[in-house]
Amino acid sequence: MGFHKRHSASLAGRGVLLLALLGVLLPALFLGYLLQSKWLKPLTIVEQIRDDGRLIAITTRGATTYFDGPNGPAGLEYDLVTAFAKELGVSAEFIFSSDNGEIAAKLRSGEAHLAATGTTPPDTTRKLYHGPVYQQVTSQLLYRSGHVRPVSIDQLTSGILEVPSGSSEDALLQQLQQSGNPDLHWTASDGTDFEQLMYLLDVEMVDYTVADSNLFAFKRRHFPKMRVAFDLDEPRLLQWLSAHSKDDSLNSEMNRFFDKIRDNGSLQHSIDRYSGNADNMPIAQSLTFWTFVAERLPLYELFFQEIAEQHDYDWRLLAAIAYQESHLNPDAVSPTGVKGLMMLTEDTAKLFSVTDRVDPQQSIQGAVSFLKFLDKRIPEEISMPDRLSFILASYNVGLGHIFDARRMTGVLGGNADSWPDVRQRLPFLAEQRFYSKLKYGQARGEEPVTYVDNILNYYDLLVWHTSFRYRNFDSPVASTQ
């Protein structure tokens, strides 16, 4: 019995010791698990963004950054930030500031994750992280055609040179003045933006202004009499900014994103959309367009507006189609017999009960009915803005040829629902090795490409024109340097 008692006591002691050890080890193991889990381990910046569901970016309102387009927000920085947010699996949210100090403060405080302002990072933000270079720009001196072109700063001793007060262009002129050009003088205006200054240059109220090359490339369609005199500085690098931190997850994702869009061509496509497309419209074409807008559009603008409202369309799109089709001439007739403001065929006119193709109202009504007819037959999975391009191309070359081009695009490894992919292959419709295998046969495939490009350009210009003409051009407060 003694042995059994001692053995039982020994087992009891060991049990107490084991429980004590477990009491120490289990909390330690659980604590270690928590430290390795997201509950106690600090979240990375990217994890915080994903948890919140938002990527917050600072930008500015402008033609090269963020503006209200015909189909909602647009602009190079808007497109890039939105695409980056999609890569992260979140939505993009924008706040606006053009003050460099405020931008830097908001990044450091965490109120914004990145700055995408479409400008060269200022010296005051050198403590911030600079993302990959995605574009190079120069500051350019602009003048109006018909005036003598200056070729150097020394020739700017007469005439009015005006820039927005406090802008990077204002700072550049101060730097040039202090570095050997004491006779350089200019006006710095408060409450004036570059679009207003380009307008003042266009109507000869100022002689010169300064703008970044990417802004000029985008705006030259709006002001076709603008010309570049010379560059004022060396090419500068455009980069996004973010706050430095021990956690480099956001910057790593940013680098990966730009590598991806650079490799797949979508970066250049986005840049071309806001600058390269402007180069596709020759100056003479742009001047002709503005002449017809001034002389002919007022004759039919009310018709466009009333009919567009009935069908929930943007009247400026209808006007852009009319300009492309007939140069806003209701009596226009083509060699193939299409006629009227919207250049309807006899078959299309009959289908939509148009009895007089040269009657402007009937022509517009028929065109809208035809556009809606085409819209119903474009696959639902194709969304805007690609959808609009497919509709316009079908209006031009026929729905059957567009279906052929989509099928051919898929066979050749492209995305049949993507207008850029189909656009690239539409010209193949004119080649026998391709059209001989297609249901609807041969077509002039280059024609719908140019047709869509032109209409979208005219549409953009009319959207800008109708918003710009109502802007307030009160005399700005100016100071002379």
Q: What is the pLDDT along the chain (481 residues), one digit of tens a residue?
A: 554 555 555 555 566 555 666 565 666 666 565 555 555 568 899 999 999 999 999 998 887 888 887 777 888 999 999 999 999 999 999 999 877 788 889 998 999 999 998 876 554 546 788 899 999 899 999 999 999 999 999 888 889 999 988 788 888 999 999 998 998 999 998 877 888 888 889 889 899 999 989 888 888 888 888 999 999 999 988 999 998 887 889 999 999 999 999 998 888 888 877 765 544 667 778 888 988 999 999 999 999 999 999 999 999 999 999 999 999 999 999 888 899 999 999 999 999 999 999 999 999 999 999 999 999 999 999 998 899 999 999 999 999 999 999 999 999 999 999 999 999 999 999 999 999 999 999 999 999 999 999 999 899 889 888 876 555 444 334 444 5
User: What CATH code would you report for 139-233?
Assistant: 3.40.190.10
- Pairing verdict, β 72-74 and 67-69: antiparallel
- Pairing verdict, β 477-480 and 187-190: antiparallel
Supply the angle between the helices 45-52 and 76-88 in degrees, to the nearest 10: 90
The torsion defined by the Cα of 266, 267, 273 and 277, in degrees rounded to 10, comes to -100
Nearest to 121 by CA among 108, 109, 133, 110: 133
Number of H helices and E strands in the chain, helices first, is 20, 15
139-233 has the same fold as 46-132+239-279: yes
CB atoms within 10 A of CB 389: 24
Domain layout of the chain by residue ranges: 46-132+239-279, 139-233, 286-467
Catalytically active residues are: 325
- Name the CATH topology of 286-467: Lysozyme (1.10.530)
Which helix (DSSP H) or strand (DSSP E) does residue 93 occupy? Answer: strand 91-96
User: What CATH code would you report for 46-132+239-279?
Assistant: 3.40.190.10
Q: What are the DSSP calls for 154-205, one per residue?
A: GG-SSS-BEEETTSHHHHHHHHHHHTT-TT---EEEET--HHHHHHHHHTTS
DSSP state of 59: E
Against a cut of 0.75, is the pTM above it?
Answer: no
What is the CA angle 236-237-240, rounded to 5? Answer: 140
What is the CA angle 470-472-475, rounded to 5? Answer: 150
